[in-house]
Amino acid sequence: MTKYILPKAMSLALILQALPLVAQSQSTDARVTNAWAGLAPPTMAMNAGYFSLSNHSDKGIVLVSADSPAYESIEIHQSQLEDGIASMRMLKSLAIESHEQVQFESGGLHLMMRKPVSNMSLGDRFAVQLHFDDGSAVDFEMQVLKSMPQVNKSEPSGAHQEHHHHHAM
Ligand SMILES: [Cu+2]
């Protein structure tokens, strides 16, 4: 009868391979990039927030809400053009299929952020949290900018964009 004895180095390699799977099941694989908000006039009690949201998991995810300490309330909105009239409606949820990316952008999906807690200036950063229907959440920072950041929407080939963030959960 043969007895298998794994060399120590080999068993360690097996353990290391297994670790990412464990981490994956405990955190969401949603990732936010290129988050920004325009500079709203001080008289405006609302602002729109934009970003790219990618689902890097093998399952669909459902965004259900967003909040920020910088605004009293945030809704998920969809702008649309109907018969030449622009309007927007609130979404109760937004499904993102496995390995899909959705763009929150001017004229489309956006976060409608109401009643800023303080006056925002160009370059200011504030925290935003997205909540999903499975109870997971993603934290990110939104920056007040003049216009959309000029970054590749797809996965970068250049070195200027940060690489995947692994959630330390
Ligand atoms: Cu809106």
- Measured in Å, residue 58 CA sits from the centre of ligand 1 at 30
- Where does the pLDDT of residue 167 fall: very low under 50, low under 70, confident under 90, or very high at 90 and above? very low
State how far the Cα of 52 lies from the Cα of 35, in Å rounded to an integer: 7
Residue 57 in contact with residue 117, Cβ under 8 Å? no
Q: Which residue has the higher pLDDT, 146 or 16?
A: 146
- Measured in Å, residue 55 CA sits from the centre of ligand 1 at 23
Dump pLDDT digits (tens) for 125-148. Answer: 999 999 999 999 999 999 999 988
Mean pLDDT in the chain?
Answer: 81
- Measured in Å, residue 72 CA sits from the centre of ligand 1 at 15
Q: What is the pLDDT of residue 23?
A: 35
**Structural domains for the chain:** 28-148+160-168 (2.60.40.1890)
CA distances (Å), origin 163, targets 37, 67, 156, 159: 22, 25, 9, 9
- Where does the pLDDT of residue 21 fall: very low under 50, low under 70, confident under 90, or very high at 90 and above? very low
- Measured in Å, residue 67 CA sits from the centre of ligand 1 at 15
Share of the chain above pLDDT 90, in %: 59
Residue 142 in contact with residue 73, Cβ under 8 Å? no
pLDDT (average), residues 153-162: 43
Q: What is the pLDDT of residue 44?
A: 83
Prediction pTM value:
0.72
- Measured in Å, residue 62 CA sits from the centre of ligand 1 at 19
- Measured in Å, residue 74 CA sits from the centre of ligand 1 at 10
Dump pLDDT digits (tens) for 33-49. Answer: 999 999 988 788 999 99
Given a cut of 80, whether residue 107 has pLDDT beyond it is yes
Q: What is the pLDDT of residue 2?
A: 53
- Measured in Å, residue 104 CA sits from the centre of ligand 1 at 11
For residue 108, how many other CB atoms are within 10 A of its CB?
A: 14
Q: Which residue has the higher pLDDT, 157 or 49?
A: 49
Query: What residues are neighbours of ligand 1 (ion), with CB under 5 Å?
Result: 77, 88, 112
- Measured in Å, residue 69 CA sits from the centre of ligand 1 at 19
- Measured in Å, residue 130 CA sits from the centre of ligand 1 at 16
- Measured in Å, residue 106 CA sits from the centre of ligand 1 at 10
Q: What is the pLDDT of residue 11?
A: 52
- Where does the pLDDT of residue 28 fall: very low under 50, low under 70, confident under 90, or very high at 90 and above? confident
| CA-wise closest residue to 25 among 53, 59, 62 | 59
Q: Which residue has the higher pLDDT, 86 or 100?
A: 100
